Structure 1
Amino acid sequence: MISESAVIHPSSVVEDGAQIGEGVQIGPFCYVGKKVVLGEGVRLISHVVVTGKTSIGARTAVFHGAALGAEPQNINYRGEETELRVGSDCVIREGVTMHTGMPDAGGITSVGNQSLFLAYSHVAHDCQVGSNVILSNNVMLGGHVEVGDRVIMGGGAAVHQFCRVGHHAFVGGLAACSLDVIPFGMLNGNPGILGGLNVIGMSRSGMDKTEVHTVRRVFKLIFHGAGTVRENLNAIRHDYEDIPALKDLFAFIDADSHRGLASAAKEKRS
């Protein structure tokens, strides 16, 4: 079904069965598959391919050469129907690729709202990406990666499959993320080292100074203490477990992980 208010360039192809919402704009030389749903006000600028079972939320803009909803780059994929779900108010720039999921992992790749994907960034099968996320140019997410809300990744960063990147984390340009990054963490280098906390991101999200300082203090106790990370956490857990930001941090560390936690850079001692 195509809304009467949609504007579709005559050079573009929209397959029968596609659902095109109010005010959608489809520019020249685009392709929209038969199982695609475009929400109200979506804009496909030009030369965009949206295929597979893909839904794009209201007012999201997709720029030249992006390819959304293609089948997974996985040798075990056998043509099953899986999905890509993209939220509202996202900006997806030139050459971005996002793939549908694998049937043995739930079959859904999802992207939240108000996120920005810069040129040639890649979201692989079964990734779960939160809202208000920024992936800079050429960022690569492997399959099954989880990215929390308000994460920022610098250009050329790569995230290994099955890694988790906690909310408000910052991953530096060209960083190799092969282990989980805690909420609020800052990861840089190859291999990636947890260098501290994303204090600027914490402040921008509305956390007050007292809470920021508390999280910083707890980070040092957990990652720079004498014991292992989990030993240090258990030693202080009851003193801080009522603070919302730290509840998230503790739950992230406690959760089962395919990859383990990225470690902090140790201070030099004389």
Structure 2
Amino acid sequence: MAQIHPTAVVEPGAQLGENVSIDAYSIVRAQVRIDEGTRVGPHCVIEGRTTIGRDNRIFQFCSLGAAPQDKKYAGEPTELQIGDRNTIREFCTFNLGTVQDAGVTRLGNDNWIMAYVHLAHDCQVGDKTIFANNAQLAGHVHVGDWVILGGYTQVHQFAKIGAHAMTGMNTSLTQDVPPFALVTGNPAQSRGFNVEGLKRRGFSGERIAAVKQMHRILYRQGLTLDDARLAIQALAQTMPEAAEEVAMMVRFLAESSRGIVR
């Protein structure tokens, strides 16, 4: 059975799985569903059409599922979806989606979200990311798997951050960040690629060499973005062991709508 502190408020209609715990003075509204093993700290407010998966740890003073900070929002039945095994630290704010996008704000699995992080409406965050304190995502931002955002990183609406990318502290992003890139500054600039992160994740030397070559094509050869994409696509023939990484980069560059950080 769920463990609910006597001072917590869980409205009729809320669905709580086995071994869910709701700590003191937290509020869980009627349309919320929380799956097995998730722990909600004190003084949290979880509302709206919010679904939270298994074995999450939500620390005190979080606001999850509030209406989006969008003047166009008119109370439509949009959602917030949070996956499994996430750590969500103090004072985080995750908003519902809007009908101007997919209608869902989404956080995947196994993410480590530190204090004061904001996920605005319609953000899509993958798995195994790390967001340091005060990382702030505006609306419609997409973040791939294994991304690391340094403290106080600010991300412009509609920007995309590719898998395995990393930002330094106080980075301001107004353009897209390609997969594997290491960027920092205001405005952000490329500082190389996230080689240490790839080593820690078990990438082979051949795969890391392919990522390095893609970085050279993007940033060292003076090519237009379209020409760089074609040159990277050709690497699949000469570096077949990195076909997955090449395909990821080609797809990201083809879908980029804001241009990339250079």
Query: TM > 0.5 between the two?
Result: yes
Contact persistence 1:223–1:229 (CA under 8 A)? no
Distance 2:221 2:200 in 1: 28
Per-residue deviation, 1:238: 2.2
Distance 1:93 1:30 in 2: 15
Per-residue deviation, 1:39: 0.5
Matches within 5 A, 1:99-248: 99-240=95-236, 242=240, 243-248=243-248
Alignment of 1:252 onto 2:252: yes
Identical-pair percentage: 39
TM-score (norm 2): 0.96
Equivalent position of 1:86 in the other structure: 82
Q: Secondary structure at the match of 1:174?
A: coil
Residue 14 (structure 2) aligned to one of 7, 18, 38: 18
Alignment of 1:28 onto 2:27: no
Segments of structure 1 that go 5 or more residues without pairing to the other structure are 264-270
Per-residue deviation, 1:236: 4.9
Segments of structure 2 that go 5 or more residues without pairing to the other structure are none
Q: Secondary structure at the match of 1:167?
A: coil
Per-residue deviation, 1:233: 3.0
Distance 1:119 1:222 in 2: 34
Superimposed CA distance per residue, residues 159-195 of structure 1 (whole angstroms, 9 cap, x where no aligned partner): 0000000000001110001100000011100000011
Per-residue deviation, 1:143: 0.2
Alignment of 1:71 onto 2:67: yes
RMSD: 1.1
Amino acid at match of 1:157: T
Contact persistence 1:222–1:230 (CA under 8 A)? no
Equivalent position of 2:34 in the other structure: 38
Amino acid at match of 1:47: H
Superimposed CA distance per residue, residues 239-258 of structure 1 (whole angstroms, 9 cap, x where no aligned partner): 3364211110111111241x
Per-residue deviation, 1:104: 1.9
Contact persistence 1:83–1:109 (CA under 8 A)? yes
Contact persistence 2:217–2:231 (CA under 8 A)? no
Distance 1:152 1:77 in 2: 30
Closer, same or farther in 2 for the Cα pair 1:44/1:218, shift >3 Å?
Answer: same
Give runs of ≥4 in structure 1 deviating > 6 Å. none
Distance 1:251 1:201 in 2: 21
Equivalent pairs, count: 258
Superimposed CA distance per residue, residues 80-123 of structure 1 (whole angstroms, 9 cap, x where no aligned partner): 11100001000100000000000121210000001011010100
Per-residue deviation, 1:229: 2.6
Q: Secondary structure at the match of 1:104?
A: coil
Amino acid at match of 2:22: I
Amino acid at match of 1:212: I
Superimposed CA distance per residue, residues 116-155 of structure 1 (whole angstroms, 9 cap, x where no aligned partner): 1101010000000001011110000000000000000011
